[in-house]
Amino acid sequence: MNPTCAAPDPAAVEALCRRVAEIPGDVHDIVRHHVAAVAPLVHGAERERLVTAAIARLTGLDALELLLADPTVDEVLVNRGGEVWVERDGRLERAEPIPPPTIPVVLERVLAPLGRRLDRTDPIVDARLPDGSRVCAVIAPIAVDGTAISVRRLHRRALPLDAFCTSEVSEVLREIVRGRCNTIVAGATSSGKTSLLAALLALLPPEERVLVLEDTAELATPDGSHVVRLEARTATADGVRAVPLHELVRTALRLRPDRLVVGEVRGDEVLAMVQAMNTGHDGSWSTCHANSVPDALGRLETLVLQAAPSWPLTAVRAQLARSIDIIVQVARTSEAARRVVAIGEVVVDASGPGVRPIVEGGRVVGRLGRSRGWRT
């Protein structure tokens, strides 16, 4: 645990919360007024942490809020209904556990303002907090050992492109952006796909109109850019209809995009995205889960076949070859850094579409051949 953010004494937090729980008025003023009675020997920064922890338990996300306030924490994970882990710099470490009885209260505070529910009939939720952080929660009986929660913080400022690769690979990526290549960023979960995409968006001229479409909004967009962000919506228990990602893709085409950015393709939206890439929306981007550049092409092929089962395989492969120019593979290194490890250019030969390596093992091995050029 980060020593600079040491948690206050849980017993003191509990005692302070019990003391002020029934007192009417502003909770911040009340907690500060009574903290000396509960912990008379605690002063300075330690007292401030105690006050903050009590307020978080009474009105916020309890210990999770304190962890999310730590700028070094990228993600907070709750396992087995109370065990807590945090991710810092790509590495997981244990944090102080939270009392299991507080978890339902925390989830209710998260979901109530969003109009979402989490119960035995609907035991999985994926939502966005007001600050942009993404929360995913699963409860019993789906979570066999107890409630599981993941809260991923939104990074409002994109990392520079050089944080992901060498200067030579960075120049290849810049050329891909300048050449308006339709590009897929592939990788495993938490490999840096969204972070790399944010770094690439920061390279775009501010006058270009970009439509960003996501299941849950988490992509950091540059300040002052011409960006329109749309977020999918699930159906609610009170009859509000769902707005799925594939509907957002069709809607975005009527909003005059210069480029489309689809946060992640994993369902029917792949068909609308691929068709959009082949109808003049050059320089569009998306991400998908895959273990390598060739696997990403195969993954997209499978998704299109699932979305359009009546399409012949040859037609699917031809559509992908015409629509997608580049696949960028990102991965975590042994030092937990997120890096661009491969870039492949989609090519077509006698056997069908394939990929020609441009970057392998983080090193440039070829030159970009496809370019859609700048529109006039």
Tokens found for residue 304: 């299109």
> Which of 363, 360, 331, 340 shows the shortest CA–CA distance to 90?
331
> What is the per-residue pLDDT for 3?
42
> What are 109-120's pLDDT values in tens digits?
777 777 778 888
CA dist 47 and 309 (Å) reads 62
Mean pLDDT of 30-44: 82
| Helix/strand/coil (H/E/C) assignment for every residue in 176-201 | HHHCCCCEEEEECCCCCHHHHHHHHH
Is the pTM above the cut of 0.85? no
- Region of poorest pLDDT, from 60-69, 147-156, 285-294, 327-336: 60-69
- DSSP-H helix ranges across the chain: 10-20, 27-38, 44-59, 63-68, 102-111, 167-178, 193-201, 245-252, 269-277, 293-307, 313-323
The mean pLDDT of the chain is 85
Tens of pLDDT, residue by residue over 213-246, are 998 888 888 776 789 999 888 877 777 788 988 8
DSSP state of 122: B
pLDDT at 215: 87
What pLDDT, on the 0 to 100 scale, is given for residue 11?
A: 80
pLDDT at residue 107 above 90? no
Mean pLDDT of 337-349: 90
Tokens 């972070």 correspond to 195
> String of b and e for 129-166 (b: at least 16 CB within 10 Å)?
beebbbbebbbeeebeebbbbbbbbeeeebbebeebbe
Classify 180 in phi/psi space as left (phi over 0), alpha (psi -120 to 50) or beta. Answer: left
| pLDDT score, position 300 | 93
pLDDT score of 67: 82
Q: Which residue has the higher pLDDT, 165 or 39?
A: 165
